[in-house]
Amino acid sequence: MRDQDRQVIREELENLRKNGARRQELSLHACKRLFFDFEIKPSMAAVRELTQTGSASDIPKDIELFWQRIRTASKTRAGVGAIPPALEERAGELLGALFEEALMLARDALHDERTEFEAGRRDAEQAARDAEARRAATDEMLQRSESRTEAAYERVRELESQLAASSAQGALQHGNREVQFQRLESENEALRKRVETEQTTNAGLRDRIDGLHEEMRKSTEHYAQQIKDALAEAERRVRPMLVELDSLRSMSSTWQSAQRDASKKEFDFIQQLATAKARADRLDVLLRERSDEVDVLTRQVTTLRGQQGVDASVAAVLCALAAEGRLGEAELTRLGTVVDGHVALPARCPNCHEGEPELSEVDDGFEFLCPECEHTSGAGASKLEAFSRFMAGKHSPEQA
């Protein structure tokens, strides 16, 4: 699109703005001019450049509204009457297709006429430029001829001054003076004839320049009248389309009100959904807290079950006796696994005093083992028995 077309659209938008048009009307007018007159798909950058108003979120909404109006216009329903709904819908689609085809034909015709007028305008401008170039050339020729004429006049003056000087020389140069006088007279006559010829040529060139100026003026007036007639014809063809667009604008207002109601309902639903989500998040946090408390209580119950109700002080005494090796095999057998819940791993190996013992369950009992020195208690029927053997440095009878 040319700069002068952009300037025309900006002037139209400025007139609409002075008449109280809002941003949406300005954007829709710009979209209509771009799409119908210049066959350019409206974009946010192009509309924003023409209207000089609107944000990055408002202009796409206006463009979408423009396309919605076009789609609505292309699917117009037939008038009321005794027509089946399906036939009425098909008739509306046919009318919409005919309307689109008419728009395309009008745009093509306008484009062809505009191309023709542009070609004529360019030809007129080229003819004007050629005439201007010829005028400049003739002016230059006229200036050169005037320069030559001035030089000739200067030569004549020099000859006249020489003639006056030669006539004052006296009687001694009388014969030569006559000869020189005749020669100077002939040269003077030749120069006068040359000056007259140059003046005649200059007059012809001036007449030619005046003719070219008149021809350029007539050509400019002719092409200007053709462009004015073409614009009037284009406006006459587009006026019914503008009336149809006004009716479509009234139909879209009803659709916009329904869309606003739907948006309000959607906003209320989103608020309710956000409230429910916040409540679910609070319940989820409370559930995790209760789950942590249940895990702690479960571990405590497991520990209490392992201790089998034995008093902690009694169990500590039995563990100390077992560590000192003061409990025999028979006593350890009678105690069994009653005190196993109170038996803890020793901090250091009694053999190497460096390793950290480990407790493992074997097929028929328990076993304490030092990973550093490989000191082991062997398999014991209970933790207390394996602990006693490990601390005393003894092994099971089977290993012995």
Would you state the pLDDT for residue 206?
A: 79
Q: pLDDT for 314-362, tens place per residue?
A: 767 777 777 777 777 777 777 666 676 777 778 788 888 878 888 777 7
Residue 358 main-chain phi, psi, to 5 deg = -125, 150
Listed residue (364, 370, 372) closest to 390, CA to CA: 370
Handedness of CA 136, 139, 145, 151 (dihedral sign): negative
- Report yes or no on whether pTM surpasses 0.75: no
The yes-or-no verdict on residue 139 having pLDDT over 80 is yes
Listed residue (216, 213, 221, 192) closest to 139, CA to CA: 213
Q: pLDDT for 46-63, tens place per residue?
A: 888 888 888 888 888 888
**Continuous segment of H or E residues that includes residue 227:** helix 174-307
Would you state the pLDDT for residue 254?
A: 79
Listed residue (115, 138, 135) closest to 127, CA to CA: 135
CA atoms within 13 A on the CB side of 55: 2
Q: pLDDT for 253-287, tens place per residue?
A: 777 877 788 788 778 878 888 887 888 788 888 88
Can you name the residues that pair with 366 across neighbouring β-strands?
A: 361, 380
Stronger pLDDT, 321 or 398, i.e. the higher one: 321
Cα-to-chain-centroid distance, residue 270: 29
Residue 92 to residue 231: CA distance in whole angstroms? 32
- Mean pLDDT, the chain, rounded, equals 77
For the chain, domains (ranges, CATH) are 3-261 (1.20.1270), 312-392 (no CATH)
Three-class HEC string of 68-127: HHHHHHCCCCCCCCCCCHHHHHHHHHHHHHHHHHHHHHHHHHHHHHHHHHHHHHHHHHHH
